[in-house]
Chains A and B, each alone.
Chain A
């Protein structure tokens, strides 16, 4: 046979090829972005729009527990919400990819099986990091400020991306479970009540007692409260244990979610070959 066959017949399990293949899959995603610049912009604009709508249409009527400017309360909340809503994008991308014929070619090739999922992760984390940058920029333009040190601010950004990372694996798993893009729509609708069932837009103190209690335990609330605290924005803390330990929960919630959904997602992806 040809040299092309012989010199490359090495096991795909080696880390080197796993990294190279993951990078190739990431480049594929960049090429998609280059083909769909409008989609990329829409993805960046949507959370910014949410921020502006809540700040200027509804913000006038909102009160912040302990007093303070609603915008200062809202901006970190929208950061957390955007990270959580990243779930939809991941799920849709995974579902679309698995329904394309090209996945059969990937699977009939000697590439590292992990590369498809790693490529997806890198792209989605990058997309969310860009969204976060855009939101921070718009937030600053609106008058939002952070009052802590640079280390606290970076820690807050880290916690936000950590939540996004957990959502990534939920999205990958649900995307494979749903299987068809039509089913993704159902999840996209369900994401909304879950998103609002939190302290993102309103303080749980102002909700009916049991609703507020559940909202405080929402993983998104933990991240939002922790980032408010780290940025020195109003509305952090409160009476309950969950509110007082927001930073701990902002670390543990995503950890728990990753611990559950990462093995589920990887296992499910492996079983595609059965």
Chain B
């Protein structure tokens, strides 16, 4: 397949690594074990809503699932994110990851208090954007380059984050799930 957009990878890295408030850096192993659902999906549309008692604003994203690694969520699910603007009021929680329509992502999802919705584990740590190599068409995954543990290795190029193939990433996730705590 001919890549539609050259350099998409750079773009997805730029858009996909927003963080939560003060967080503990979670390893992939920890994320995999703590997640109730792990999926590869594509963000379809969002809707800003009040919660049931009109006390918090959330942005709900409908995500079409392409692969399920853990759990049995069905063909679609709703990812609930803190914050949004509605009725002249805005609510923000610093750095909550902002999904985008059409974006493909690997999601590590935690429990949801409300029926039918789930939250990204660790606010943003459980979200990995997927991009396509403009030359090969291969799907790639990028870890947040600002994460402390992500600085351990250096690439030969030395000046760009190094993504890994989606299949390899998912194999690492499955491997993490097989290891006994």
User: Is chain B a partner of chain A in the same complex?
Assistant: no
Write the residues of chain B forming the contact surface with A, with a CB cutoff of 8 angstroms. Answer: none
